[in-house]
Chain A
């Protein structure tokens, strides 16, 4: 039984940078390419999937209290199938962690540190994340509470752009209908389904009743932030939004107040690093604990650093250039929601049916 020393508030705060760290950078441009100037609606639609995943995570936790996905998938699907599913899941998590680290390092290297080898950037980050994961989930949560305000700060600094924004870019609304918006929502769904990682933190939460409230609040803030960033990029860049690789970076580079506060993108870098630290640590934590529970190991401290090295390797392997990452993301459209949303949904349905059956049998045997 895990120790229950996380508070629901900490878990909610932890999920915010976990979902958003790469979301801020990559999402506005992808959604702009499909939905053009209706891109701000895409996140709202995607958040429904987020609601679904949170609901699933909590329901599964209620059915199997104190257990994580690894443990109850064995009970739901049976030993063999469960272990197989967790193997796939583990592979997905490691691969995603590698891609996320690579995305983060690509952003840093492509825009700021041109000559630094990308392996160094990735390894340094993974080293710090591995140390955080070794400290346990409460260390992760405490760091999250301290770093999330630093992560949110750039959103307010972006308000300095108000003189340069043109709100009329939002028109015409829905001129092409809702279909492009739905097509554009496909990508944010990938990010929103990451909310399912809550199921790995729930066994540690000391007040799970409040957990639901804080998770929904977290989801709302994520959606709001994404919509805000999308709107801001739209107002600033107009039809050019889909053309930029990192619209929020362009927004930051555009800030100029009185010729003194200019060229602030280094601040964006600084603040974004801490958000990514939380995200990669969360994924690494999930990976480490999945592996540990899958193999029934007693202690996870020995596998943390090796898994970290594996993540760095997976971040470099098969991703020779930046455009391959974009392509992989398109493939990820299928893999990620299925791992995090579809299959848990199936698990939930089976679990509920089983529960029904046992209660029916229990009643009938009385």
Chain B
């Protein structure tokens, strides 16, 4: 009987789609013709109605015909103008060179690749490489002259800190990988690339440090990436949702960051990074819950300060989750916990309010969330005004109109501030979202309800895995060596082991006994 009930509830079936309009036609698979005319015709038909594809025909050495195809806007046209076309046109007439020797001897460019099929040519064309086709040659050459307009390296807006590098990734994959390479210079830093997305053919790079990252982990990541079959990858968020262990959970199982130093720190601990062309946000796997509560700046400040700030962050993380629910539970079920003078003033301020505490809290919380989201969308000048002034004025007016009570407003304000303390937006949003079921539970069952909610959340967190690493691994299966980075921020000279993720790991990252002090160096 339960099985029937379950079947009624469950509706998901794996659907198989017929691919109606494949992104790449089958006739593009074929090889280039030796005849230039045929090649040109087929290219023109493939790129019909594409006004930004330019076909430049030339004659080399007065005799052989050649064709350069490029996409305007993606190609370095000045490079073509200065290096390719002049050097080709100045080739002497009577030198019988094959196209390869021609390019090797005469073309003054730094990079070129041979292409033999239409599909390959299209692939290179779409990344901005002009393709040089030669008459009577069944192969072409893609010249390494791609250049397009891109954003310059700026400070990441979502992860600001007081101390630390201010560079962020950009949308171009090569620039991002170059930023990582600048920090980790060892040749053991491997970057395996693949293309995902039928129409977008987005470049994805998986970066890891060989010897530190578990080989099984990398294989698992690559398998999951290869499994994806989708129209297009526009942002790393698509990849994240496709390769997660637990898609229904509100908690993120991959970390997304804009900062190269964060990525490199995680690579050095044995994790892998997934870089996606077209977005500055890089994914890091595998993570634990505590990676979400750490910020890069923790490690740049001194350890006492960082420890205190970390505790503050944990405390306020809990506050952002529990405070409204606690307020509802205590004022409706356990009023005796409130000291009597506070109780009297709270009762007095709630006299004019028509709603029960539960409804009041829900109204204010939803309004506050709306204000926050609005503050993000509005342009910068207006946005700041709306969030601060809006909150204050609306709150004050609501209290005076008798819609909400003043203590409730303080609760909501503190909760709002508390949720801004969490460094990762995804984790902050997850905690904020879970506030609402907790408020409902608190309103129906009081503190019992809140505890049930806590138990349910912890149960969920205990069952989460991120690429095989249990989500709460450092605390739930306690490892003393790792606890010193979770509970406090141990001084740098004490953190000499790496965290153990899965599989084998390279244990030591620095030598022991690095504690500084004047007695070490022989000073008195």
Contacts and interface: CB of A to CB of B under 8 A. Distances in A.
Contacts of B333: 112-113, 266
Interface in A134-169: 135, 139, 141-143, 145-147
B334 A266 contact: yes
B463 A139 contact: yes
B205 interface: no
Contacts, number: 84
Contacts of B450: 270
Interface string B440-472: 000001111011101110110011000000101
Contacts of B330: 266
Contact of B339 (A116, A125, A259): A259
Contact of A145 (B334, B447, B478): B478
Q: Which residue, of A9, A121, A146, has the highest number of chain B Cβ atoms within 10 A?
A: A146
A248 interface: no
B336 A263 contact: yes
Given A135-B459, A143-B459, A263-B337, A270 B447 contact: yes
A145 B450 CA distance: 19
Contacts of A146: 458, 462, 472, 475-476
Contacts of B455: 128, 143, 147, 273-274, 277
Contacts of A9: 478
A319 B194 CA distance: 66
Given A9-B478, A142-B476, A146-B476, A266 B452 contact: no
B448 A142 contact: no
A135 B465 CA distance: 13
A245 to B, nearest CB: 19
Q: Which residue, of A108, A142, A259, has the highest number of chain B Cβ atoms within 10 A?
A: A142
A262 interface: yes
B477 interface: yes
A159 B355 CA distance: 40
B462 A139 contact: yes
B452 A128 contact: yes
Contacts of B475: 145-146
A116 B445 contact: yes
A145 B476 contact: yes
Nearest to A142: B476
A145 B476 CA distance: 6
Interface string A255-266: 000011011101
A307 interface: no
B454 A274 contact: yes
Interface residues of B, number: 27
A171 B343 CA distance: 42
Contacts of A70: none
Interface in A262-291: 262-264, 266-267, 269-270, 273-274, 277
B452 A142 contact: no
A124 interface: yes
B445 A262 contact: no
Contacts of B447: 112, 266, 269-270
Contact of A113 (B337, B339, B445, B459): B445
B254 to A, nearest CB: 21
Given A260-B339, A262-B339, A142 B456 contact: no
Nearest to A109: B448
Interface string B64-82: 0000000000000000000
Nearest to A263: B336
A266 B337 contact: yes
Q: Which residue, of B336, B448, B477, has the highest number of chain A Cβ atoms within 10 A?
A: B448
Interface in A1-20: 7, 9-10
A131 B455 CA distance: 11
Contacts of A259: 339-340
Nearest to A136: B463
Contacts of B452: 124-125, 128, 273
Contacts of B477: 7, 10, 141-142, 145
A270 B447 CA distance: 6
Contacts of A202: none
Contacts of A263: 336-337
B462 A135 contact: yes
A112 B334 CA distance: 8
A205 interface: no
A357 B456 CA distance: 51
B448 A121 contact: yes
A132 interface: yes
Interface string A96-135: 0000000000001000110010000100110010011001
A47 to B, nearest CB: 26
B477 to A, nearest CB: 6
A101 to B, nearest CB: 14
A131 B477 CA distance: 20
Contact of A274 (B337, B451, B463): B451
Contacts of A135: 459, 462-463
Interface in B470-499: 470, 472, 475-478
A-B pairs with the 5 shortest C-beta distances? A142-B476, A266-B334, A273-B451, A263-B336, A142-B462
21 contacts: A108-B448, A112-B447, A113-B333, A113-B446, A121-B448, A124-B445, A124-B452, A128-B455, A128-B459, A131-B459, A142-B472, A143-B458, A146-B462, A147-B455, A266-B330, A269-B448, A270-B447, A270-B451, A273-B451, A274-B451, A274-B454
Given A128-B455, A145-B477, A263-B336, 13 more contacts: A9-B478, A113-B446, A124-B452, A128-B459, A135-B459, A135-B463, A142-B462, A142-B472, A146-B458, A266-B447, A267-B337, A273-B455, A274-B454
